[in-house]
A and B are shown apart, each in its own frame.
Chain A
Amino acid sequence: MSEINLPAAAEPIDQVGLKVLTIVATLALLVTAPFLASEYWINAIIVPFLILSLAGLGLNLLTGYGGQLSLGAGAFMMVGAYATFSLQLRVPELPLPLALIVAGFIAGAVGLAFGIPSTRIKGFYLIVSTLAAQFFFEWLFLKFPWFYNGNSSATIALSRGLSFFGLDANSPHGRYYLTLGIVALLTLLSFNLIRGQTGRNWMAIRDMDTAAAVIGVPVFRAKLQAFAVSSFILGIAGALWAFAYLGSASVQSFGLTRSYQILFIIIIGGLGTIRGAYLGAGFVSLLPLALDWLFQHLFSGHVDAGLLQNIQKAIFGLLIIWFLIKEPEGLARLLSLRRTQGARRRLFPS
Chain B
Amino acid sequence: MNMFLETLIGGLLAGTMYSLVAIGFVLIYKASGVFNYAQGSLLLFAALTFVTLTDQGVPALGAIAVTIGLLVLTAITIEKLLLRPLTNRSPMTLFMATLGLSYVVEGVAQGIMGSQVRALNLGIDDLPIFLGDIMISQFDLIAAGVALAIVVVLSLLFNRTRIGIQLRGVADDTRAALSLGIDINRIWQIVWAVAGLVGLVAGLLWGARQGVQFSLSLVVLKALPVLIIGGFTSIPGAIVGGLIVGAGESLAETYIGPYLGGGITPWFAYALALVFLFIRPAGLFGERQIERV
Nearest-neighbor residue (CB-CB) of B86 within chain A: A325
Which of the residues B91, B110, B111, B281 comes within 8 Å of A121, measured between beta carbons?
B281
Q: Are B100 and A321 in contact (CB under 8 A)?
A: yes
Q: How many Å from the CB of B80 to the closest CB on chain A?
A: 12
Q: Are B115 and A317 in contact (CB under 8 A)?
A: no
Q: Does B225 contact A (CB under 8 A)?
A: yes
Q: How many Å from the CB of A28 to the closest CB on chain B?
A: 37
Pick from B125-133, B149-157, B200-208, B258-266 the stretch touching chain A.
Answer: B258-266
Q: Does B232 contact A (CB under 8 A)?
A: yes
Q: Are A321 and B97 in contact (CB under 8 A)?
A: yes
Task: Give Cα distance in the complex from A338 to B273, angstroms.
Answer: 46
Q: Are B100 and A120 in contact (CB under 8 A)?
A: no
Q: Does B162 contact A (CB under 8 A)?
A: no
Given A124-B35, A128-B274, A132-B270, A144–B261 Cβ distance below 8 Å?
A: yes
Pick from B58-66, B101-109, B247-255 the stretch touching chain A.
Answer: B101-109
Q: Does B136 contact A (CB under 8 A)?
A: no
Pick from A230-238, A294-302, A305-313 the stretch touching chain B.
Answer: A305-313
Task: Assign chain B's interface to a size class.
Answer: 35 or more
Task: Give Cα distance in the complex from A325 to B274, angstroms.
Answer: 33
Give the A-B contact count at a CB cut-off of 8 A: 133
| A62: B residues at CB distance < 8 A | none
Given A210-B293, A214-B293, A128–B228 Cβ distance below 8 Å?
A: yes
Binary B-proximity of A328-349 (CB < 8 A = 1, otherwise 0): 1000000000000000000011
Q: How many Å from the CB of A262 to the closest CB on chain B?
A: 12
Q: Are B101 and A122 in contact (CB under 8 A)?
A: no
| A328: B residues at CB distance < 8 A | 89, 93
Q: Does A125 contact B (CB under 8 A)?
A: yes
Q: Does A27 contact B (CB under 8 A)?
A: no
Q: Does A21 contact B (CB under 8 A)?
A: no
Chain B binding site: helix, strand, loop or mixed by DSSP? Answer: helix
Q: Are A128 and B89 in contact (CB under 8 A)?
A: no
Which of the residues B86, B106, B221 comes within 8 Å of A324, measured between beta carbons?
B86
Q: Are A131 and B263 in contact (CB under 8 A)?
A: no
Q: Are B267 and A325 in contact (CB under 8 A)?
A: no
Q: How many Å from the CB of B199 to the closest CB on chain A?
A: 18
Task: Give Cα distance in the complex from A314 to B86, angstroms.
Answer: 19
Q: Does B182 contact A (CB under 8 A)?
A: no
Task: Give Cα distance in the complex from A348 to B282, angstroms.
Answer: 23
Which of the residues B90, B102, B228, B292 comes within 8 Å of A350, measured between beta carbons?
B90
Chain A binding site: helix, strand, loop or mixed by DSSP? Answer: helix
Which of the residues B103, B274, B291 comes within 8 Å of A320, measured between beta carbons?
B103
Nearest-neighbor residue (CB-CB) of A311 within chain B: B111
Q: Does A316 contact B (CB under 8 A)?
A: yes
Which of the residues A143, A314, A350 comes within 8 Å of B103, measured between beta carbons?
A314
| B93: A residues at CB distance < 8 A | 324, 328, 348, 350
Q: Are B267 and A318 in contact (CB under 8 A)?
A: no
| B102: A residues at CB distance < 8 A | 317
Q: Are A135 and B267 in contact (CB under 8 A)?
A: yes
Q: Does B158 contact A (CB under 8 A)?
A: no
Q: How many Å from the CB of B95 to the closest CB on chain A?
A: 7
Q: Are A132 and B281 in contact (CB under 8 A)?
A: no
Q: Are B103 and A132 in contact (CB under 8 A)?
A: no
Q: Does A139 contact B (CB under 8 A)?
A: yes
Nearest-neighbor residue (CB-CB) of A215 within chain B: B293
Given A314-B111, A350-B90, A132–B267 Cβ distance below 8 Å?
A: yes
Q: Does B82 contact A (CB under 8 A)?
A: yes
Nearest-neighbor residue (CB-CB) of A211 within chain B: B293
Q: Are B111 and A317 in contact (CB under 8 A)?
A: no
Q: Does A220 contact B (CB under 8 A)?
A: no
Q: Are A131 and B270 in contact (CB under 8 A)?
A: yes
Q: Does B117 contact A (CB under 8 A)?
A: no
| B91: A residues at CB distance < 8 A | 123-124
Q: Are A122 and B281 in contact (CB under 8 A)?
A: yes
Q: Are A138 and B266 in contact (CB under 8 A)?
A: yes
Q: Are A348 and B111 in contact (CB under 8 A)?
A: no
Q: Does A24 contact B (CB under 8 A)?
A: no
Q: Does A102 contact B (CB under 8 A)?
A: no
Q: Are B107 and A139 in contact (CB under 8 A)?
A: no
Chain A contacts to B: CB under 8 angstroms: 69, 117, 120-125, 127-129, 131-132, 135-136, 138-139, 143-144, 208, 210-211, 214, 256, 260, 263-264, 267, 306-307, 310-321, 324-325, 328, 348-350
With A263-B96, A350-B89 known, 5 other A-B pairs at CB within 8 A are A132-B267, A132-B271, A138-B266, A310-B111, A328-B89
Closest 4 CB pairs of A and B: A317-B103, A314-B107, A320-B100, A313-B107
Chain B contacts to A: CB under 8 angstroms: 35, 81-82, 85-86, 89-93, 95-97, 99-108, 110-111, 115, 221, 224-225, 228, 232, 260-261, 263-264, 266-267, 270-271, 273-274, 277-278, 281-283, 291-293
Can you give 22 contacting A-B residue pairs, CB < 8 Å? A122-B281, A124-B35, A124-B95, A125-B283, A128-B228, A129-B274, A138-B266, A210-B293, A267-B96, A307-B111, A310-B106, A310-B110, A312-B107, A313-B107, A314-B108, A314-B111, A316-B107, A317-B104, A317-B105, A321-B82, A325-B85, A349-B92
